[in-house]
Structure 1
Amino acid sequence: MFKKIAALTLSALAVLTISALGAGVSGRLVIKGSDTMLPLANQWAEDFQKKNPRATISVTGGGSGVGITALINGTCDIATSSRPIEPKEVAAARSRNFVPKEFPVAIDGIAVVVHPSNPIKSLTVDQVRDIYTGKITNWSQLGVKAGRIVAVGRDTSSGTYKFFQEDVLKGAKYRADMISLPSTNAIATTVSQDKGAIGYIGIAYAKSFAKKVKVLPISFGKGKPAIYPSDNAIRSRQYPISRSLFCYTRGNPTGLAKAFLDFVMSPEGQAGVRKVGYVPIK
């Protein structure tokens, strides 16, 4: 009799333990923003939901600016951004009675890519700037035979567009004939199909297109070593075009948003950063 009661008790405890472990957090979380961070946010959402099956997470891109606007308007819980939030966006948030909370969550290197057939071996930051501002229009000006340069970049809603303009172009305007595309994937695809093209994409996309585009080492200037965007070079910021990737919330996060960001910064969440192809923040 006692053995039967003990067995039933143990069974009940086992059920309670399994229920407690499987419960996790619940609710619906909306994440929106950076196209660069889209595969990363999807990876985090997938891994988080495995641990918290009662949580529903919606992840969409559209661009960093789109995500931050959605956060300000209250239509998303977390905005992903490949650039720091701008003062005017903080002011807009304050007008809605909150201050955005910033979370650096990963590190990225913006890879400069060309068609695999292009014989160019490397570029300086100045040369990249001159290409994208229109001072250099033909590959022959750089000593190689690849014809007319077709500059490809993102659209104005993109955080990468703005970061590249500020960090590489030093605030100068993009060349008028640049092909502006709505996604990083579209840039990589275009460069892979056009022998004269050059583009800029997040390192995770460069890795996924490894056999279709050629990643160029970049140097800080003439006479300085050209650095390939390896994980170590990006982490140490030796690679010239490195940056942090961010998540933003409406003030200090609570509930499901806090649980998600705690997961993002955990060893498991940072392992997801490496899995996707970016560089862990810690």
Structure 2
Amino acid sequence: MKGSDTEVNLAVNLAEAYNKTDPTFSMAISGGGSGLGITSLLNGQADIANSSRPLTEEELALFKKKNMLLKTVVFAEDATAFVVHSDNPITEIDVKTLSKIMSGQVENWKSVSGQDVPINIYGRQSSSGTYSFIRKKLKIAYSQKAKEMTGNAQILEAIKIDKSGIGYVGAGYISKKIQDNKGIKVLKIKNDADSNAISPLDPTAIKNRLYFFQRPLYQFIPEKSWAKVLSFIQFETKGEGTKIIENSGYYLIQ
């Protein structure tokens, strides 16, 4: 299993739990981004590609060219969280302002938080499904000054030591242990200036599809690999795996 960094920790937890029910089952799991996982399928180097985005038209054409039939599993839902340093006075932000920040139109916190300091953006590499998801949702091109990090954990660590920072991570990377989140603040998101601010950590809001940056999480599986992974897929979508998904900070598909 290769692909999405958003999904990799969850995938490890699911595989470890499933292994306890079937000790003969083993699976090597790595991240690297949704694009890498999908490329690994095309190259015959994976049985499952984790992806936090759907396949592109170009990718679909490549699979068709190779006569590779795929099965698609949507096994969980994620809410992408925007985080700032805990000393940043803001607690919420509207989508329009966020678009201006992430695109580089607004480069200083003064008009947003009152602090006269430059904004440092921490994002993902272009192979990341989250990178593509945020860009499309905000309808922007990222600021050229945005720092490209290899994963969610790296973004969080950067924000913890940068009082001018802002970045995005999967909500599953926000620990339920308050002490683990020392140094970061999760922003509530407003669709516009007049709407209610919604937290990515609010299960009721996610269930009611109120959060602007929520999305399904995919697993793409070549038909030739389906038989050997089916029991694992059933475990994560219908069995004990559903509890692991919720306990890991992700959400079940409603």
Range into which the TM-score falls when normalised by the shorter chain: over 0.9
Amino acid across the alignment from 1:251? E
Aligned to 2:49: 79
Deviation string, structure 1 residues 44-94 (Cα, Å, up to 9, x no partner): 110111111011111100100000110111110000001111111111111
Aligned to 2:9: 39
Amino acid across the alignment from 1:193? I
Is 2:150 the counterpart of 1:178? no
Contact map agreement 1:118 1:146 (CA 8 A) in 2 = no
Counterparts of 1:146 and 1:56 in 2: how far apart (Å)? 52
Q: 1:191 is matched with which residue: 153, 159, 165?
A: 159
Deviation string, structure 1 residues 200-224 (Cα, Å, up to 9, x no partner): 0000112365333100100100111
Deviation string, structure 1 residues 234-280 (Cα, Å, up to 9, x no partner): 23221111101010011375322111111111131111101211112
Contact map agreement 2:89 2:113 (CA 8 A) in 1 = no
Percent identity between the two aligned chains: 35
Amino acid across the alignment from 2:16? E
Task: From the CA coordinates, give the structure whose radius of gyration is larger.
Answer: 1
Amino acid across the alignment from 1:203? A
Aligned 1:220-231 pairs, distance under 5 A: 220-229=191-200, 230-231=202-203
Q: Which consecutive unaligned segments of at least 5 residues does structure 2 have?
A: none
Amino acid across the alignment from 1:34? S
Aligned 1:198-217 pairs, distance under 5 A: 198-207=166-175, 209-217=180-188
Contact map agreement 1:270 1:281 (CA 8 A) in 2 = no
Counterparts of 1:144 and 1:162 in 2: how far apart (Å)? 30
Question: In structure 2, do the counterparts of structure 1 residues 44 and 134 end up closer, same or farther at CA, with 3 Å as the change threshold?
Answer: same
Counterparts of 2:24 and 2:247 in 1: how far apart (Å)? 24
Question: In structure 2, do the counterparts of structure 1 residues 270 and 247 end up closer, same or farther at CA, with 3 Å as the change threshold?
Answer: same
Amino acid across the alignment from 2:242? Q
Deviation string, structure 1 residues 156-211 (Cα, Å, up to 9, x no partner): 1111001111112x1x2100100111111101110111000000000011236533
Aligned 1:111-150 pairs, distance under 5 A: 111-145=81-115, 147-150=117-120
Amino acid across the alignment from 1:207? S
Which structure would you say has the larger RCO, counting Cα contacts within 8 Å and 6 or more residues apart?
2
Aligned 1:258-269 pairs, distance under 5 A: 258-269=230-241
Find runs of 4+ consecutive structure 1 residues off by over 6 angstroms. Answer: none
TM-score scaled by length of structure 1: 0.85
Counterparts of 1:143 and 1:118 in 2: how far apart (Å)? 7
Aligned to 1:239: 211
Amino acid across the alignment from 1:235? K
Q: 1:161 is matched with which residue: 131, 147, 153?
A: 131
Deviates more, 1:74-83 or 1:90-99: 90-99
RMSD, aligned CA: 1.4
SS at match of 2:175: helix
Aligned to 1:58: 28
Counterparts of 1:72 and 1:146 in 2: how far apart (Å)? 48
Contact map agreement 1:206 1:213 (CA 8 A) in 2 = no
Question: In structure 2, do the counterparts of structure 1 residues 146 and 231 end up closer, same or farther at CA, with 3 Å as the change threshold?
Answer: farther
Question: In structure 2, do the counterparts of structure 1 residues 129 and 252 end up closer, same or farther at CA, with 3 Å as the change threshold?
Answer: farther
Counterparts of 1:153 and 1:44 in 2: how far apart (Å)? 26
TM-score scaled by length of structure 2: 0.94
SS at match of 1:36: helix
Amino acid across the alignment from 1:228? S
Q: Which consecutive unaligned segments of at least 5 residues does structure 1 have?
A: 1-30
Aligned to 1:8: none
In the alignment of these two chains, the number of paired residues is: 250
Deviation string, structure 1 residues 73-125 (Cα, Å, up to 9, x no partner): 11100000011111111111111112322111101111010000000121001
Counterparts of 2:136 and 2:110 in 1: how far apart (Å)? 27
Contact map agreement 1:146 1:196 (CA 8 A) in 2 = no
